[in-house]
Amino acid sequence: MNKDQLEEKIKKAFSTVAYPGDRNIVTHPCNECDRVARTFIGLHWSDVPQKLSEIMEHANLGFISLLSAEAFHFFVPGFMIVILENYRTTGGITDSLITAFDRPSKSNRDEAINEISGRHLEALKNELKSAAYPESDMQKRHDHRMSFFDSAQREATIDFFNYLKMHHPDDDPLNQFDRIIANIRVLQEKHRRG
């Protein structure tokens, strides 16, 4: 699948996702979340590519972790398309999105700490900020976010990470792409079984 075909698949899969509402952009009220909320209030996911410079300027690099499950679900296709179109200039968004999709576990965190590099530093910092929560709470939060994705959206997400794996293999020293794909496939199977 080429980039244009993947973008169309993403757009189609997420075309019916409803805007989460102005009061449901972030997970809780704080200064950082308020800043992120102001950046995304009233924005449609299809506007993310056109608003990239504003998003990068006003939202910190870990902003994706601050989005509510509904807002994450709504805006994720815009983030995926931005990454496909501007991969080399969206490092913070790319790392934050990868971290958001990579189901947390102690072994993942330990591996990330051992392999820390400049490119992954911001994503790791944000992950470590969440380390105060028990691992099971982090996993529940991740699983809740993923529960909003239907079969077509999970397939488009798998294709997105397969594309990144194929076209940017050197940017995945922690094998997160494979873990993300495997975790989404497990979810697919669970939903197929009912």
For residues 3-19, one letter each, b for 16 or more C-beta atoms within 10 angstroms of the residue's C-beta and e for the rest, the string is eeebbebbbebbeebeb
Share of the chain above pLDDT 90, in %: 43
Predicted local distance difference test score (pLDDT) of residue 161: 96
- Name which residue leads in pLDDT, 172 or 24: 24
Instruction: Compute, in degrees rounded to 10, the torsion defined by CA atoms 91, 93, 96, 100.
Output: -130
pTM equals 0.82
Section 165-182 average pLDDT? 89
Query: Which tens digit of pLDDT belongs to each residue from 92-102?
Result: 788 888 888 98
Checking if the pLDDT of 133 tops 50, the result is no
Tokens of 34: 């308020």
Query: Which tens digit of pLDDT belongs to each residue from 53-72?
Result: 777 765 556 788 889 999 99
Q: Which residues contact 103 (CB under 8 A, 6 or more apart)?
A: 139, 142, 143, 179, 180, 183
Taking the mean position of all CA atoms in its chain, how far away is CA 119?
16
Taking the mean position of all CA atoms in its chain, how far away is CA 72?
7
Other Cβ atoms within 10 Å of 149 Cβ, number = 22
